[in-house]
Amino acid sequence: MSEKKSFGFETRAIHAGAAPDPTTGARQTPIYQTTSFVFDDVDEAASLFNLQKVGFIYSRLTNPTVAVLEERIANLEGGIGATATASGHAAQLMALFPLLSPGDEFIASTKLYGGSLNQFANTFPRAFGWKAVFADTDTPANVKAALTEKTKAIFVESLANPGGIVTDLEAIATIARDAGIPLIVDNTLASPYLIRPIEWGATLVVHSTTKFLSGNGTSVGGAVVDSGTFDWSKDGKYPALSGPEPGYHGLKFHETFGNLAYTIHGHAVGLRDLGPSQSPFNAFLTLNGIETLHLRMERHSTNALTVARFLESHPAVEWVSYAGLESSKYHALAQKYLPRGAGGIFTFGIKGGYDAGVKLVESVELFSHLANIGDSRSLIIHPSSTTHRQLDAEGQTAAGAGPEVIRLSIGLESADDIIADLAQALEKAVG
Amino acid sequence: MDHDSYSDAYLKGVLEDVRTIAVVGASDNPLRASHFVMKYLGDKGYTIIPINPGQAGKEILGHRVYAALSDLPEPPDMVDVFRNSDAAAGVVDEAIAAGARVVWLQLGVRNDDAARRAEAAGLRVVMNRCPKIEYQRLFGEIGRIGVNSNIITAKKRPVKPTKKLI
């Protein structure tokens, strides 16, 4: 079977990275709940510590269960390798860590998830001296205009949260390539079933695996995927990858490991020194989620389109922003980048503004009022009173999270039941 | 022979068939890729023969270093080439003359003319690949650090032990 050149997405979602346990024959990937691993002898230990051999030393760096998750996500994204992390936020930290030094800049979309905006705008500059320069990526020329000598990366979301915003990845990737810097794409909302950013020119892909990859709202986690296509050594811009690493006696990662350099650095330096590794149990649950990713993303998308159409025709609704609707300004981009569906998450504006929004989220019965997305259950949140409240009014509106905005993450329940719950809650909220 | 992509069976066949590997461009610097490859393949049980005119007569990782492939007392099964694509042409011709059965050009090294000459002489050729990475990928090790092996299987994949355990 391994001689077939390429397997379908569905097959890889179930099998990639996993094989029956070589010792016991266990078919499902075991949970290797252990901190550390014995060495054969001192020479093997030395080979492992010198990175002359890849293997297991300590679960902060690598773990057999977590490794299966890493390989599976790398495979589904079409990447050369992946590093699993404790959360999506940790994945963003880990993605930028080998690229930026204090004083460096990266360009970030103004339409990122609110938590990302906060991490980039406040914590990264204060803690690491990494300056995020924000640009509205709806007009790719804005990204080009924001480039400086210090720009080391561009960071966007393929499908942005909230608001059904589709990024023109091909246009942004061209700008990144011309500037000789990597494009990093957060692919959490779309998942690799709906879009694979590497195919459009992304260098790195980051995930919060907490969402659709896990799928059941059980496990916080993240991942950084490398395409293996970027030349880290060409101009000395990325010394962490091209220059000598003091922690490994002066080893140069890119020279020694070629296109595996970023992934090996992620484990051998990133996880070793920053420490945000994913737990084997979370990796196990997320692997089980990924086995049904293709089926779930189809249903999330069709349910979301059905609910979006209902809301678009509802008198208590001002507007619906879902890239799957013909009325969306992102519809053409969605048809290009997301032909299999526009995902399960969108926003709408409720008549009556902030107060009606608060009333709506307190009136739903089937929807869960909570700050997550990508669950099998339908979820609702009023961003301006919760996820985006750390931003000021201007920032909220720029991020598509104004006072009237409601964000829905449409689950896998019967579409009729989802609609009925929204109908009764809208009645209570707007009357 | 298609040198843009190799089947797993072809690469596995090469790695399972050869026992002695001459490494042209072998470095005594433990941070260089050639050193990593020699250490790894030596630990996997292959007999390593470093080739480096500057180090001839000395030892690298306990293996005697030869100046050139033409100095070897016996033909090596495989010649692994750590030279650039242009310089690789001459090394391939030396490998043919030395009686090698396989010539392997490292990741980033490719010379199609030289490959045709080697194939015409009956050698198997691998280009623009690393035998250490391929060994790790094909025998279930590379995924340990999150690298995509592109292997799909429902069979057990026992990791090959190091020589000390054989």
Residues of A within 8 A of B158 (CB-CB) are 22
pLDDT (mean) for A118-135: 97
Whether the pLDDT of residue A186 is over 60: the answer is: yes
Measured between CB atoms, which of B108, B145, B165 is closest to A67?
B145
| ipTM at complex level | 0.88
DSSP bridge pairs for B23: B50, B80
Which of A74, A249, A256 has the CB atom closest to B36's CB atom? A256
Residue A17 at interface with chain B, using a CB cutoff of 8 Å? yes
B108–chain A nearest CA distance, Å: 9
DSSP of A371-383: S--S-SS-EEE-G
A74–B148 C-beta distance less than 8 A: yes
Residue A4: pLDDT over 60? no
A contact residues 249-278, partner B, Cβ 8 Å cutoff: 249-252, 255-260, 263-264, 266-267
Q: What is the pLDDT of residues B71-123, one digit of tens each?
A: 999 999 999 999 999 999 999 999 999 999 999 999 999 999 999 999 999 99
In this complex, the residue of B8, B31, B162 whose CB is nearest that of residue A256 is B31
Indicate the SS3 state at residue B162: coil
Phi, psi of A49 (to 5 degrees): -65, -30
Q: What is the mean pLDDT of residues A290-295?
A: 98
pLDDT of residue A3: 52
pLDDT of residue B163: 53
Strand partners, A222: A85, A208
| Contact yes or no for A264 and B145 at CB 8 A | yes
Q: Which residues of B touch A271 (CB under 8 A)?
A: none
Residue A5 has pLDDT above 80, yes or no: no
pLDDT(B159) > 70 = no
**Amino acid at the residue A424:** Q
Cβ proximity of A88 and A268 under 8 Å: no
The CATH number assigned to the domain with range B8-165 reads 3.40.50.720
Which residue pairs, CB below 8 angstroms and at least 24 apart, start in B42-47?
B42/B163, B43/A43, B43/A44, B43/A47, B43/A53, B43/B162, B43/B163, B44/B135, B44/B160, B44/B162, B44/B163, B45/B162, B45/B163, B45/B166, B46/B18, B46/B19, B46/B20, B46/B21, B47/B19, B47/B20, B47/B21
- Note the pLDDT of residue A22: 87
CB contact under 8 Å between A68 and B143, yes or no, is yes
- Tell me: pLDDT of A410 over 80: yes
pLDDT tens for each residue of A204-240 = 999 999 999 999 999 999 999 999 999 999 999 999 9
Supply the pLDDT for residue B57.
95
The pLDDT of residue A1: 45
List the domain boundaries for chain B: 8-165
Percent of chain A topping pLDDT 70:
99
For residue A51, pLDDT over 60 is answered with yes
CB contact under 8 A, B36 and A22: no
Query: What are the tokens at B48?
Result: 């390593």
Chain B interface residues facing chain A, Cβ-Cβ under 8 Å?
Answer: 5, 7-9, 30-33, 36, 39-40, 43, 107-108, 130, 133, 136, 140-159, 162, 164-165
- A50-56 mean pLDDT: 91
CB environment A20-30: b (16+ within 10 A), e (fewer): bbeeeeeeebe
Confidence class for position B164, pLDDT limits 50, 70, 90: very low
**Does the beta carbon of A85 lie under 8 angstroms from any beta carbon of chain B?**
no
Cβ–Cβ below 8 Å for A71 and B143: yes
Q: Exposed (0-12), middle (13-18) or buried (19+): which is A354, by Cβ within 10 Å?
A: middle
Q: Using an 8 Å Cβ cutoff, are A143 and A131 in contact?
A: no
- Long-range CB contacts (within 8 A, 24+) of A396-402: A398/A110, A398/A111, A398/A136, A399/A110, A399/A111, A399/A112, A399/A114, A399/A117, A399/A162, A400/A111, A400/A160, A400/A162, A400/A163, A400/A165, A400/A321, A400/A347, A401/A114, A401/A162, A401/A163, A401/A347, A402/A349
Check whether B161 has a pLDDT greater than 60. Answer: no
Residue B161: is the preceding peptide bond cis (ω within 30°)?
Answer: no
Residues forming beta bridges with residue A133, ordered by sequence position = A107
Task: State the average pLDDT over residues B134-163.
Answer: 85
- A249: tokens are 């006696």
Total residues found in chain B within this entry: 166
- Alpha-carbon distance B10 to nearest alpha carbon in chain A (angstroms): 10
Strand-pair category, A379-381 with A405-409: antiparallel
Selected residue of A5, A41, A53 to mutate for chain B interface (largest B Cβ count, 10 A): A53
Token representation of residue A290: 């990924």
The per-residue pLDDT for A225 is 98
From B156's Cα to the closest Cα of chain A, the distance in A is 5
pLDDT value for B162: 54
Chain B hits for A52, CB-CB cut-off 8 Å, are 36, 39-40
Q: Which of B152, B162, B165 to mutate to test the interface with A (most CBs of A within 10 A)?
A: B152
Q: Report pLDDT for B79.
A: 98
How far, in Å, CA of A64 to CA of A56, rounded? Answer: 8
Rounded-to-integer distance, Cα A25 and Cα A19, Å: 9
Residues in B closer than 8 angstroms to A262, CB to CB, are none
Inter-chain residue contact A249 with B9, CB threshold 8 Å: no
Do residues A113 and A186 lie in contact, with contact meaning Cβ atoms separated by under 8 Å? yes
Amino acid in the structure at residue A14? I
Could you give all domains of chain A from N- to C-terminal order, each with its CATH number? Answer: 9-289 (3.40.640.10), 293-430 (3.90.1150.10)
pLDDT at residue B24, as a whole number:
98
CB A359 within 8 A of CB A428: yes
pLDDT digits (tens, 9 = 90+) for B8-58: 999 999 999 999 999 999 999 999 999 999 999 999 999 999 999 999 999
pLDDT band at B165 (very low <50, low <70, confident <90, very high): very low
Residues whose CB falls within 8 Å of the CB of residue B129, separated by 6 or more in sequence, listed in order: B6, B11, B104, B105, B106, B107
Residue with tokens 């049904």: A292
What b-and-e string marks burial along A115-130, b requiring 16 or more CB atoms within 10 Å of the CB?
bbbbbbbeebeeebeb
